[in-house]
């Protein structure tokens, strides 16, 4: 790399929210189990939380994969300049 400089790691905000969702999901599920009273309500609310989290995960993953990330773009440009 020219002058020993490195480019920063590319990270989208969608990836941050995916990590938050993955870490927070068990806590939300336990909270629903504690708050809901009765077996029927627990099953119903747990199913809704599962569907909501699965939909959020799918949407955030899709949006994260749609971000354009160029790893090493500066290095490729530098190599192309010196290649000519």
CA distance linking residue 74 with residue 81, whole number of Å: 11
From the DSSP assignment, how many helices (H) and strands (E) are in the chain? Answer: 3, 0
- Specify the pTM: 0.69
CA distance linking residue 56 with residue 77, whole number of Å: 37
For the segment 16-47, what is each residue's pLDDT rounded down to a tens digit?
999 999 999 999 999 999 998 899 999 999 99
DSSP 1: -
Which of 27-31, 56-60, 74-78 is the least confident region?
74-78
């Amino acid at each position: 790399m020219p002058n020993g400089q490195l480019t920063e790691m590319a990270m989208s905000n969608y990836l941050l929210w995916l990590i938050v969702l993955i870490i927070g999901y068990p806590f939300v599920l336990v909270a629903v189990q504690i708050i809901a009273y009765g077996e029927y309500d627990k099953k119903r609310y747990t199913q809704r939380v599962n569907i909501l989290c699965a939909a959020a995960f799918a949407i955030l993953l899709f949006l994260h994969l749609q971000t354009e990330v160029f790893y090493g773009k500066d290095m490729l440009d530098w190599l192309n300049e010196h290649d000519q």
